[in-house]
Structure 1
Amino acid sequence: MANATSSSANAQHGLTDRLTRWARGLSGKSEDEPEPGPPARNANNSMMREINRRRQLYSDIGDFLFAHDLDLTPLNFSVALDYMTGANIGVEKAIKAVLMERGKITNGWVESVVAEQRADEVTPESLATMLDKVEENLAQFGGLVHESRNSAKDYGAALQEQAKGLADGENAAPVLSRLVNLTRSMVEKTRQVENQMRESQKQTQALKSSLESARRAAEHDHLTGLPNRRAFESVLKEELLLAQAQGEQISVAFCDIDHFKIINDTHGHDTGDRVLKFVAGLLAKVSNDRCHVARHGGEEFVMLFRGKTAPEACELVDGVRADLASRNLVNRSNGERMEKISFSAGVANVHAYEDPRAALKAADRALYLAKEHGRNRVYLAADAD
């Protein structure tokens, strides 16, 4: 009986061994490879927990984007990730605040928050630092060129000196040896200078790209794609100088979408953002190198017309106003037709005021007169006394 039990145990043990070897073969392990002990199992468990944590995070981000009907863009994903992980305190606070106020965020809101953060990053100090670095690299580049030229001159003089020895009948072997060493030294120095110049050029190119990105971030509205208020103020100065130099008329206009808060409250901020983009597109159609359009802030846009009198500018703006007012817009989220969308505007002659700011204030006053007298109209500001 004991022998039968022993045989059965041995047979079972043998079957276990065969099954173990078969499983190892499927996993790619050799027969001699030991089974993992507790430390390996702990490592595997830790890895699985990390994988599960990431899966849950991706799922939470997806749920967040879906709940707020946000587009699947890298920007939205990045903001959701910052919010879920707390990686960006500013984003986390902003989202919590808007959720308490509105209960939902929109694509446009995400763009505006990111734009504000980037605008904060692009400070005059940071731009000045970048410019200083570019100038430093350019100075270094110029120094390397100068050093390379001096080295070439020194090399030429040294060659001439050694060549004299050959002409004077000096033993050729040591002279040739010195020439070879001199040439090797020059080749090595040239290689070092080339490497330094190449590295300096790469750094300058990277800084140039950073400056261009910073300039775009600082001067463009990320929702509508139009220049922002900062960019417009720079253009106004430049265009005014051109108009004065060439004896041209120059006019400014403020345009403000009528009842925009009602549009947001009725149809949602996402639809409000699309209305902003649509109006921006209509205004941008009349822009060219002598007519500039920018988003001044909120639902307000500003325009500059060089070579146009105030009445002529008023006519152009009124044409855009009439075009918008004649359209039947549909809410894309539910397919319902929206109430008529319109804007009011005020126009002023820049030359009629002591400075551009005064002209802008006059256009702004004319805009609010248009609002007070029924909206969906363009008013011309009276010239200053």
Structure 2
Amino acid sequence: MNGATSPSASPQHGLTDRLARWAKGLSGKADDDEGGAEDQRPRAGSAANREVTRRRRLYEEIGDFLFAHDLDLTPINFSVALDYLTGANIGVEKAIKAVLMERGKITNGWIESVAASQNPDEVTPDSLATMLDKVEENLTQFTGLMHESRNSAKDYGAALQEQAKGLAEGGDAEPVLARLVGLTRSMVEKTRLVETQLRENQKQTQALKSSLENARRAAEHDHLTGLPNRRAFEGVLREEVKLAQDNGETLSVAFCDIDHFKHVNDTHGHETGDRVLKFVAGLLAKVSNDHCHVARHGGEEFVMLFRGKTAAEACEAVDAVREDLSTRSLVNRTNGERMERVSFSAGVANVLAYEDPRSALKAADRALYLAKEHGRNRVYLAAETD
């Protein structure tokens, strides 16, 4: 695993196909060449040779793009770079141009969000949560229908019993009444059986709803660090903004990004990189409480929300965690070697000083990149006129 979230099967398979085709092209073999005896290498100046050159140049451009932005070599990053450099996806091209114009650099986490927005049909935590909402709604309706059916069956049985009792006491048409009484008793027994089945079905429905709730929680948590994910954070942000406004409290947000995380992965391996992510997540989570929420925003980036703290106070809280991390001496468990110092940079903004929460998040993100540009391992406060 690396700094970026694992892509879905479709983009990865598509990239694998592309890499396979490029590999064949770079080796001078046609797609249908299975290593026959005849030499089928393209002649100089041929169309096939020009295609090989074009592919090789594109491959180099993609590598340069990933290296320039310090991006992990993952299928999702490779695919987005390909779409941008070839103009194959206008949406991706516009998004990358916009962010490059705004801050001159892109990150693994940002690419994740772009890829997700360009593939709305893929099963994402958001789409999964939507499906769970719909299933839960249907189950709630079904539970109501079962409850109504049970009550109707009970009322119908009681009415039949009462009418049968009255007819039986009249003394006329005894054979008919006897059959009616027998039929009524049979109906009552069937009704009781249906009630038993409905009660059992209701228990099963409640168990299923509980399972769906567990699935919902899973959809809102990052499986690696155990922290809430971006979707969960966005829901908390909406709630906290309302609480802060209603109670006249301050609200601050911080973006924290591990410095040189790609180097950690490249030097020590992705397994060690995962442990670093979990370690940093643990340090950040220690300060969380009812008024402080921590989530993994994507890749090596975390987000913190402080209700009741000014932006300056939030800076102090984040900086205390940053200082704690920068003094830790981590060891690569795989080989026992001592790792370079791990640190993170952060940007903090006053949420209520901006027109909307999204603008505040952008301001905190810009402050984070200023911290990166000015040396890393530091916390910067966004200007409220930003």
The two structures have a TM-score, normalised by structure 2, of 0.65
Residues 346, 367 of structure 1: 8 Å contact kept: yes
1:115-170 deviation per Cα after TM superposition (whole angstroms, max 9, x unaligned)? x99x9434656554544444334333333333333333333333333333454455
Partners of 1:263 and 1:130 in 2: CA distance: 37
C-alpha displacement at 1:196, in angstroms?
3.9
Partner of 2:345: 344
Question: One-letter code of the match for 1:296?
Answer: H
Partner of 1:147: 149
Partner of 1:302: 303
Q: Which has the bigger relative contact order, CA under 8 A and spacing at least 6? A: 2
C-alpha displacement at 1:378, in angstroms?
1.1
C-alpha displacement at 1:241, in angstroms?
0.5
- Please give the root-mean-square deviation of Cα atoms over the aligned residues, in Å: 3.6
C-alpha displacement at 1:211, in angstroms?
5.0
Partner of 2:211: 209
Total equivalences in the alignment: 289
Partners of 1:272 and 1:327 in 2: CA distance: 16
Question: One-letter code of the match for 2:159?
Answer: A
Partners of 2:366 and 2:74 in 1: CA distance: 35
Partners of 2:17 and 2:272 in 1: CA distance: 21
Cα distance change of structure 1 residues 325 and 140 upon mapping to structure 2, 3 Å threshold: closer
Residues 144, 193 of structure 1: 8 Å contact kept: no
What pairs up with 1:340-379 in 2 under 5 angstroms?
A: 340-379=341-380
Question: One-letter code of the match for 2:318?
Answer: V
C-alpha displacement at 1:266, in angstroms?
2.0
Cα distance change of structure 1 residues 256 and 160 upon mapping to structure 2, 3 Å threshold: closer
C-alpha displacement at 1:304, in angstroms?
0.5
C-alpha displacement at 1:192, in angstroms?
2.4
Residues 251, 310 of structure 1: 8 Å contact kept: yes
Partners of 1:169 and 1:198 in 2: CA distance: 41
C-alpha displacement at 1:94, in angstroms?
7.4
What pairs up with 1:210-225 in 2 under 5 angstroms?
A: 210=212, 212-213=214-215, 215-225=216-226
Partner of 1:189: 191
Return 5+ residue gaps in structure 1 as ranges. Answer: 1-67, 69-78, 80-87, 106-112
C-alpha displacement at 1:301, in angstroms?
1.1
Residues 254, 364 of structure 1: 8 Å contact kept: yes
The two structures have a TM-score, normalised by structure 1, of 0.65
Cα distance change of structure 1 residues 282 and 98 upon mapping to structure 2, 3 Å threshold: farther
Identify the match of residue 161 of structure 2 among 143, 159, 162: 159
Partner of 1:240: 241
Partner of 1:20: none
What pairs up with 1:83-162 in 2 under 5 angstroms?
A: 120-122=122-124, 127-162=129-164
Cα distance change of structure 1 residues 289 and 336 upon mapping to structure 2, 3 Å threshold: same
Bigger proportion of residues as helix: 1
Cα distance change of structure 1 residues 138 and 193 upon mapping to structure 2, 3 Å threshold: farther
C-alpha displacement at 1:174, in angstroms?
6.7
Partners of 2:125 and 2:371 in 1: CA distance: 37
Question: One-letter code of the match for 1:293?
Answer: V
Residues 148, 190 of structure 1: 8 Å contact kept: no
Partners of 1:159 and 1:237 in 2: CA distance: 56
Of 184-193 and 338-347, the range deviating more from structure 2: 184-193
Partner of 2:104: none
Residues 326, 342 of structure 2: 8 Å contact kept: yes
**Is 1:289 aligned to residue 306 of structure 2?**
no
Cα distance change of structure 1 residues 279 and 187 upon mapping to structure 2, 3 Å threshold: same
Question: One-letter code of the match for 2:306?
Answer: F
Cα distance change of structure 1 residues 242 and 342 upon mapping to structure 2, 3 Å threshold: same
Partners of 2:278 and 2:326 in 1: CA distance: 16
Work out the percentage of aligned pairs sharing the same amino acid: 52
What pairs up with 1:233-272 in 2 under 5 angstroms?
A: 233-272=234-273
Residues 257, 301 of structure 2: 8 Å contact kept: yes
C-alpha displacement at 1:195, in angstroms?
1.4
